[in-house]
Structure 1
Amino acid sequence: MSEYDSLHRQCRTLESLFDTKLTSYARLASTITRSQEDLEAGGSAERWKDLETEVDELLQKLGELNDQLDSLSNDPDSPPSQSMLRAIQRHREVYQDYSKEFRRTKTNVQHALDQANLLSGVRNDIDAYKSSAADSLLAERDHITSSHRMTDDMLAQAYETRADFGRQRTTLSGIQTRMTGVINTIPGINNLLSMIKTRRRRDAIIIGCIIGLCIILLLTYMF
């Protein structure tokens, strides 16, 4: 097999492989834009870098093969035929088209990645805001619950104080009733004491009179 045939076959193989990889690389942009996933979490950034490196290496190899074909076409010792020149020219055109397509696709992929990163950042900011708002609501709810609990405790203390006042009022009312009864009973006791004193005074007078009479009779009897 001649050198031209070998280079020609290698170019055809690399062109086919490059076209497949470039198509996969182009699909990555639409996948990233459509899914709007977190690039780091989903692994899109890593897949993009690996695929881009692979496509870039294929393009470099294809360029090297085209350079070898160009050198072969300019060999004065073994000038190529017209069909070979047309094939070499065709490989060069395909290589140039692939280079342009790769640069364009690379720009589109980078734009898609930038947009996905921006959307991911915005989504993270929104999630952070939601989390902060949720924390604020939870804190506010805890504060309200604490206020309700404090209010319930104050009401319970107020009810207990009112009950104590009620019991004290009942006790004082009973004491007042007993004192009123005692006070109402005192005039009768005073009357009783007065009657006792009057009777004792009368008894003393009677006894005095009897004693005096007895003394008089005794003196009369003696003299």
Structure 2
Amino acid sequence: MSSSSFSQIRSQALSLEKQTESLLSKYSQYQQSSSQSLESTEDESHTKQQINDILGKRTTIINKLNRISESSINESSLSTSKLQQISRHREILQDHWRAFNRITSQLTDERNRNNLLFSVQSDISYHKQQHQRRPGQAGSTEINDDPNAYILEESQRADNVNSIADRLLQGAMNTRDELINQRQFLQNAQVRIMSSLQGVPGINVLISKINTRRKRDTLILASVIAICIVLLFFV
């Protein structure tokens, strides 16, 4: 593939990156309404699917850029800057995947908490109504007077609460794993930067010259200050 093909495919990657940022911004706004909604809206589900599809397309595009780089190595037609561009596109894609998963996890956790609170409030309201109806209505406490039925209901509620707690715990574990992955990513980025600096011809010599000149300038300045102080004593 030619350099023009690389530019065309990269322009698609840039366009999709902008679309992803816009959709992620829109998707994050649903966190404000998640406290009032127990289920995701149709618009939210559509936005989530759009982001997922675009991220998949960007993965395919980056794979195409990688194939171009592999086919152009022997021809020496792919510059170092283009290789860096491919690496940058990959890093941005990983950042967007992390942001997307983080927002999705937060929305899920918030709705799980709301569902738990709604379930508890409903149970409290139900028992209050049954307690108020008990003195004046015969037969209204038939369910409450059955110990087995009451135990079964409480067992089902306990199972529901345990299920929600398990999902919340799983979300926390996913968040922890994501933080560990981010730390590993930063460490890998630092290693790549150091490797790139070491691979640039003459970079070590340049840094050494800069340090030598700085020491020389410091020594000259210190000498001038010392001479001025000595002269002040003799004047």
Q: 1:109 pairs with 100, 107, 110, which one?
A: 107
Q: How does 1:66-85 map to 2 (within 5 A)?
A: 66-76=62-72, 77=75, 79-85=77-83
Structure 1, unaligned stretches of length 5 or more?
A: 141-223
How big is the shift at 1:88? 1.6
* Amino acid in the other structure paired with 1:4: F
Q: Are 2:38 and 2:111, in contact at CA under 8 Å, matched by a contact in 1?
A: no
Task: Structure 2: give runs of 5+ residues left out of the alignment.
Answer: 139-235
Residue of structure 1 in register with 2:32 after alignment: 30
Give the 5 Å matches for 1:12-51: 12-33=14-35, 35=36, 37-39=37-39, 44-51=40-47
- What SS is found at the alignment partner of 1:80? coil
Deviation at 1:116?
Answer: 2.1
Aligned to 1:56: 52
Structural RMSD (CA)? 2.6
Residues 180-199 of structure 1 deviation map (CA, whole Å, 9 limit, x = unaligned): xxxxxxxxxxxxxxxxxxxx
- Cα distance in 2, alignment partners of residues 74 and 138 from structure 1: 84
Does structure 2 retain, via aligned residues, the 8 Å contact 1:30–1:112? no
- More relative contact order, 1 or 2 (CA 8 Å, 6+ apart): 1
Q: Return the alpha-carbon distance in structure 1 between the equivalents of residues 131 and 42 of structure 2.
A: 34
Please point out which of 85, 88, 93 is paired with 2:86.
88
Match of 1:3 in 2: 5
TM-score by length of 1: 0.52
The offset of 1:14, in angstroms, is: 0.8
Q: Deviations over 1:156-179 (max 9, x none)?
A: xxxxxxxxxxxxxxxxxxxxxxxx
Cα shift at 1:135: 4.1
Measure how far apart 1:3 and its partner are: 1.3
Following superposition, the deviation at residue 138 of structure 1 comes to 6.6
- In 2, Cα distance between equivalents of 1:124 and 1:46: 26
**Mapped contact 1:29–1:109 kept (Cα < 8 A):** yes
Look at both structures and tell me which one has the larger radius of gyration over its CA atoms: 1
Task: Report the counterpart of residue 99 of structure 1 in structure 2.
Answer: 97
Q: 1:87 to 1:119 in 2, by over 3 A?
A: same
Q: Which moved more, 1:128-137 or 1:15-24?
A: 128-137
Partners of 1:29 and 1:113 within 8 A in 2: no
Q: Per the alignment, do residues 91 and 49 of structure 1 end up closer, same or farther by CA in structure 2, a change over 3 Å counting?
A: same
Deviation at residue 86 of structure 1 after TM alignment: 2.1
Shift, 1:15, TM fit: 0.7
Q: How many correspondences in the alignment?
A: 134
**TM superposition shift of 1:137:** 6.9
Task: Provide, for residues 82-119 of structure 1, a one-character-per-residue CA deviation record: whole Å limited to 9, x for no partner.
Answer: 22222222111111111222222222222112112222
Deviation at 1:72, TM superposition (A): 1.3
